[in-house]
Structure 1
Amino acid sequence: MPADLAVIGLGHLGLPLAQAAVAAGVQTVGYDTDPRACTELSAGRTPVEGSLSASDVRRMLSGGFRPTTNPAELGRVRTAVICAPTPLGADRTLDLTAVGDAARALAARLRPHTTVLLESAVPPGTTENYLLPLLEEGSGLRAGRDFHLACSPSRLDPGNRTHVYANTPKVIGGLTPACTESAAAFYGRLTDKVVRARGPREAEMTKVLETNFRHVNIALVNEMAVLCHDLGVDLWDVIRCAETKPFGFQPFRPGPGVGGHGTPVDPGYLPYRSRTPGHPLRMVSLAQEINDRMPQYVIQRCATLLNEHGKSVRGARVLLLGVTYKPDLADQESSPAREIASRLMDMGAQIGYHDPHVLDWRVRELPVPRADSLYEAASSADLTVLLQHHRTYDLQGLAVKAQLLLDTRGATPAGAAHRL
């Protein structure tokens, strides 16, 4: 059965897009090469932690959503959106393998007048220098003449109940003005506002700026956290005061590390040949270096606290609270919890964890004991470390029960715990 839209890649980007499209009455097919993902979705279950709920998936299915592993479905749609994952590779560049695979699968079945959109996080130039050649060579069609091509980077914020797909503006950069307008016509059905960029590179660079803005500012406040601790200054009170300034300041808060799917991108290092000379972003590299140091700083604080109370890390019982990258979600993508647990284990600590959203947690392929009773576990642990502040945690009560509590999120009442 033909559909209006094919979402290619049913992960953190693709599923919310498909949900928004189905809710808007767009006949949608979801394509993924992973049979497990399609099987789970067809059964009304979500295959991705921290994404849609089972009830969300069931509503999509009742609205006509069809998950499939059959690439033939890609040749029967008016619009195809590539939402393939682009994880960081060993060289810290984005891995475009999945984007390339998606492009080849689509190109073999691409029909004239189709609108092809790229939502995956990619370096500037990817739409024109990497995606376009794959689509043209595989289809025999010409972008901008026979089919429309545009980039509209995802702005997904999982768990955000205020800014959802419908009220978050979509930035669109088309290969030609006609490509931009075709993309705008599609996204105009899903969101209240579309913002037209001058072209694909400007749209791609918008994502780079937004993501790096977050990382650079988190790095700044992480450095401030270390400095303020050394000086005996309450950083959390400093932030509270600073955010009253009505201009020129946006509050960011420190933490044990930076998780999530929005990885920092340095366009000076491109995973393909580009006409653009590489100009590394020194600020981004430094921010990444600072943020990467935060798990080790947490370990240092843990060791110091234990030592001050006459205990050694070796043999200490340490309870980690919240192992996801974001509060109130099950998603563990790039969460610093695993590195912190691993380092503590290397130092001889006995690690346990509690997380209402994660029932099974492994570090180095080894299961970590899960605490059934939070208060009992905290009272018996030599040190409890809050890594993620889930709403279900009663931090006032926890501070009373725990022998030692290190709060890396500044969520406990002032004076109730040791803060980062």
Structure 2
Amino acid sequence: MFQELLQKIDEREYTVGIVGLGYVGLPLMWTFHKAGIPVIGYDIDQKKIDCIHEGRSYIKHLDENMMQTLSESNRCDATVNFSRLSEADAILMCVPTPLDEHREPDMQYVEKTAMTIGENLRKGQLVVLESTTYPGTTEELIIPILESKSNLTAGEDFYVAYSPEREDPGNVNFDTGSIPKVVGGHTQEGIDLACAMYDTAIVQTVPVSDTKTAEAVKMTENVFRAVNIALVNELKVVFQEMDINVHEVLDAADTKPFGFMKFVPGPGLGGHCIPIDPFYLTWKAREHEQHTRFIELAGEINTKMPQYVIDQTLKALNAHKKPMNGSKVLVIGLAYKPDVDDQRESPTFKIMNLLEKYGAEVSYYDPHISEIKPTREYDHWTGKKSIQWNKKTISSFDAVVISTNHSDIDYQQLVEWSDCIVDSRNEMNGIERKSDIHIWQA
């Protein structure tokens, strides 16, 4: 079975099945399709399936031309019918791995997906987990579920690998196909098959010894970013009290050609990885009686940044002789990063919650998110709509907080229309301003 599947992959006569057609799965579908590989997408959301069939994009940075190509291709299909998993030779799991209310791993989506795959698994298939998770997930959770549901044996009847997604929504320099793929397998056959498969569509594969090593690679990448972001966030708070512009410091430090890597401070962490993954590792470390004090300290610093933004907003309003309670506050940018429509784990939600807690009347503006979509933690904001961008509307707010600095916002207009701006992204640097405006760095 191993040789048969390997030959099908080498001859590009295999079919890829992708479970979960969100920010990871949909670009992956496009990448394999561009490489000439037949792809079947599976999702429980009929709306996503309909969009693929009709050529309509539901993720802003993935354009309509791409979706139209997928809808018209005889090498691409999408379905809510998971009994069709048997049609795929390789099944890639791209489902969420959030945290629960106790900030511990919530594995329900991975578990349910593994059960569904196991119920439809046939001999000779390759199953790859792409979801970001703690070291040991594939061996300790996924394989036992697949074996129990299928009555098949991993490494003999079917093959298993782990290859972490490395998506960066909106990145114009790298896409799924141009980012090297780390691959670890349950067996050597699993590694060989997964590498051969990704080699048909991805620029480079990077094999490692086993699945838990590949899982640890993804953890390390994201913890590295979380810790360094915490460092510059702490420096921002310290330098602010010293009347030093942290952004000027970082720009100057970045001219050193060795020994320094620039990270940028902000209002907190957002997105599907950085705010979550360190908690996965600290949770798993406790199982081995290890304590990740450095990582936990970084998490503590980053989670406090929305409150720091609120503190600066209180000072800004006070300078205008206004209380927070009863003031109208506009938050710019709901997405977690510039120029995307991805609201997952956005620190803007925490800022809005805190503003509301202090009695402010809260609105938001985001050119990429016209209406807030349902979330697991911030349900009461669901359905709230972005305000209109015009002088009359903007001028009616007592303060404006820049949380996400989308490039298609006219910040020159903002300083002309508003008297009080709290800038957490250094976007006001270099913007001409009127003499009576208050701009607070946050």
Give the structure-1-normalised TM-score. Answer: 0.93
Residue in structure 2 matching 1:387, options 375, 399, 403: 403
Match runs of 1:57-72 below 5 Å: 57-63=67-73, 64-72=75-83
For the Cα contact (< 8 Å) 2:312–2:441, is it kept in 1?
no
Q: Could you say what the CA RMSD is over the residues aligned between the two structures, in angstroms?
A: 2.1
Deviates more, 1:198-207 or 1:336-345: 336-345
Residue in structure 2 matching 1:267, options 264, 281, 296: 281
Match runs of 1:51-62 below 5 Å: 52-62=62-72
The CA distance in 2 between the partners of 1:69 and 1:370, in whole Å, is: 32
Corresponding position: 1:419 with 2:429: no
Q: Which residue of 2 aligns with 1:253?
A: 264
Counterpart AA for 2:325: R
Residue in structure 2 matching 1:319, options 317, 322, 330: 330
Q: Which residue of 1 aligns with 2:250?
A: 239
- 1:297-346 deviation per Cα after TM superposition (whole angstroms, max 9, x unaligned): 11110001110221111222211111110111111111111221122122
Structure 1 consecutive aligned stretches of length 4 or more whose deviation exceeds 6 Å: none
Residue in structure 1 matching 2:422, options 397, 403, 406: 406
Q: 1:361 to 1:132 in 2, by over 3 A?
A: closer
Counterpart AA for 1:300: D
In structure 2, stretches of 5+ residues that fail to align are 1-12, 434-438
Match runs of 1:174-213 below 5 Å: 174-213=185-224
Secondary structure in structure 2 of the residue aligned to 1:108? helix
CA deviation after TM superposition for structure 1 residue 51, in Å: 5.8
Match runs of 1:130-145 below 5 Å: 130-145=141-156
In structure 1, stretches of 5+ residues that fail to align are none
The CA distance in 2 between the partners of 1:74 and 1:305, in whole Å, is: 56
Corresponding position: 1:82 with 2:93: yes
Q: Which residue of 2 aligns with 1:373?
A: 389
Secondary structure in structure 2 of the residue aligned to 1:318? strand
Deviates more, 1:170-179 or 1:150-159: 170-179
CA deviation after TM superposition for structure 1 residue 146, in Å: 2.0
The CA distance in 1 between the partners of 2:390 and 2:250, in whole Å, is: 30
For the Cα contact (< 8 Å) 1:406–1:419, is it kept in 2?
yes
For the Cα contact (< 8 Å) 2:96–2:110, is it kept in 1?
yes
Secondary structure in structure 2 of the residue aligned to 1:138? helix
For the Cα contact (< 8 Å) 2:161–2:183, is it kept in 1?
yes
Q: What count of residue pairs does the alignment treat as equivalent?
A: 415
Residue in structure 1 matching 2:128, options 113, 117, 122: 117
For the Cα contact (< 8 Å) 2:19–2:25, is it kept in 1?
yes
For the Cα contact (< 8 Å) 1:173–1:196, is it kept in 2?
yes
Secondary structure in structure 2 of the residue aligned to 1:418? strand
The CA distance in 1 between the partners of 2:30 and 2:225, in whole Å, is: 26
The CA distance in 2 between the partners of 1:382 and 1:369, in whole Å, is: 19
Q: Which residue of 1 aligns with 2:363?
A: 352
The CA distance in 1 between the partners of 2:292 and 2:135, in whole Å, is: 13
Residue in structure 2 matching 1:27, options 26, 35, 38: 38
Deviates more, 1:77-86 or 1:257-266: 257-266
Quick one: percent identity of the two aligned structures?
Answer: 34
The CA distance in 1 between the partners of 2:32 and 2:105, in whole Å, is: 27
Corresponding position: 1:302 with 2:313: yes
For the Cα contact (< 8 Å) 1:385–1:408, is it kept in 2?
yes
CA deviation after TM superposition for structure 1 residue 367, in Å: 5.5
Q: Which residue of 1 aligns with 2:4?
A: none
Secondary structure in structure 1 of the residue aligned to 2:184? strand
CA deviation after TM superposition for structure 1 residue 50, in Å: 4.5
Deviates more, 1:301-310 or 1:55-64: 55-64
Secondary structure in structure 2 of the residue aligned to 1:166? helix
For the Cα contact (< 8 Å) 1:267–1:279, is it kept in 2?
no
CA deviation after TM superposition for structure 1 residue 373, in Å: 2.8
Counterpart AA for 1:301: Q
Match runs of 1:101-180 below 5 Å: 101-180=112-191
The CA distance in 2 between the partners of 1:134 and 1:317, in whole Å, is: 52
For the Cα contact (< 8 Å) 1:127–1:151, is it kept in 2?
yes
